[in-house]
Amino acid sequence: MRPAAPLKSSPAKTEQIILFRVSGQLFAVSSASVQEVRSADSMSGASTEISAPGIRKVSHVARRGDRSLFIVNGAMHFGLHAAEGALLFVLRKTRTALLIDGIEKMTTMTRLQALPLSFCHEERQWYRGLTALDQTVVPVVKPEGFLSPEELALLDAALLKTDEAAAAALEETNSAQ
Amino acid sequence: MTVSTELDLQSFVLLRLGERRFAVSAKQIAELVAPSRVFRFPHRTPRLEGVILRRGRIVPVCDVSEMLLGKRLTSRRFYLIAVRNYGAQREWVAMPVTGECELINAEMMAASESDAPHVAGWLSHDGDVIEVLNLDTLTPGPGQSLAEAAPPQSVEARP
């Protein structure tokens, strides 16, 4: 017996994707979702530490004008072995900069299959679906799935607290001088 | 044999997991395939090992042995690909099995309230009483609490 309807897939059009690794695991992301690729070192000077309760995957925030980018450790997000990320993907239309090991290659996917419904936990927020490339199955990540609205709210609160502490320290220094 | 008795017979596929046999309605079986590469990626759903590629489809692999036997399979010979219902939607799920499968016709006795949720019924075959599995509660799916792991039972009950 076969399922009555084929599994939901995207229309038959191609999409440029970037294959990248986190802790040795291969993932894909739409290249249209990646605004910038930066080396982790280049960002370290512009970032400050942040600590939000329960969100260990974010330890730094980068300021860009009035915008804050939360640096998400990809390995911690996916529950993989911790790895020193070398590159950052600044993800378009999000406040996420994703720390990854490196880029494998750029390629084209012709079919995105919906994540099977058996996968019913957090991974449904993580992935847009799966794609088969060269007889390998690769999960295609959802850029907005790295930080939930609740996590963003907690991070914003932690950021505010950090800013207030910094302002208070500055004021104390000025008054002492 | 009366007509009514004939109508009660249904087709089942008998599958082997370790030392035990279980049955699944033949209507729910798509095919039996040799093990192929399992592609693994991070996820948080218990019992799902990853996915296999089959006829251009990406099929999740769900190991139900721990729930049914209380331990994981050490060897697997085939994947039994079954059709899993998710409301109106149906998808393939591959279950590792340890031996050949057999198609039989038998009469199913309905499960009782005291049976585990994954038991759709019981059938008698070859002197054994065999659990008929309800895949919709045995394998994970959205908005559903999985049937609790059944304690390991002795090898098939004998009538």
Span of A166-170, B49-53, B80-84 with lowest mean pLDDT: A166-170
- Residue B113, phi then psi, degrees to nearest 5: -65, -25
Q: What is the pLDDT of residue B142?
A: 81
Q: Which of these CATH numbers, 2.40.50.180, 3.30.70.100, 3.30.2350.10, 3.20.20.150, describes A15-172? A: 2.40.50.180
CA distance A103 to A20: 4
Q: Measured between CA atoms, how close is B159 to chain A, in angstroms?
A: 32
Distance from CA of B158 to the nearest CA of A (A): 31
For residue B103, the cross-strand partners are: B13
Rounded average pLDDT over A75-102 = 93
B109 to chain A, closest Cα gap in Å: 23
Residue of B nearest to A137 (CA): B39
Average pLDDT estimate for A141-158: 96
- Whether B155 shows a pLDDT value over 80: the answer reads no
Element (H, E) at B23: strand B20-25
Residues belonging to chain B with any Cβ–Cβ distance to chain A shorter than 8 Å: 27-30, 39, 41-45, 48, 51, 53, 56-60, 62, 83-84, 86, 89-93, 139-144
Domain residue spans in chain B? 13-138
Tokens 């006795």 locate to B109
Q: Which residues of B touch A57 (CB under 8 A)?
A: none
Q: How many CB atoms lie within 10 A of CB B96?
A: 22
- pTM of the predicted model as reported, rounded to 2 decimal places: 0.85
Indicate the domain borders of chain A. 15-172
pLDDT at A6: 53
User: Which of residues A166 and A155 earns the better pLDDT score?
Assistant: A155
Q: Going by DSSP bridges, is the β-strand pair B128-133/B20-25 parallel, antiparallel, or unpaired?
A: parallel
The closest CB to that of A1, out of B28, B53, B59, belongs to B28
* Mean pLDDT taken over chain B: 86
Among A22, A6, A13, A15, smallest CA distance to A126 is for: A22
A121-138 per-position pLDDT tens digit: 999 999 999 999 998 999
C-alpha–C-alpha distance, residues B102 and B122, integer Å:
16
| pLDDT given for residue B151 in this prediction | 38
Both structure tokens of B47: 């019992």
pLDDT on residue B147: 44
Residue in A29, A131, A130, A121 with CA at minimum distance from that of residue A72: A29
Q: Span B59-80, mean pLDDT? A: 90
Q: What is the ipTM of this complex?
A: 0.86
Tell me how crowded residue B66 is: count the other CB atoms within 10 A of its CB.
Answer: 15
State how far the Cα of A56 lies from the Cα of A73, in Å rounded to an integer.
9
Fold of B13-138: OB fold (Dihydrolipoamide Acetyltransferase, E2P) (2.40.50)
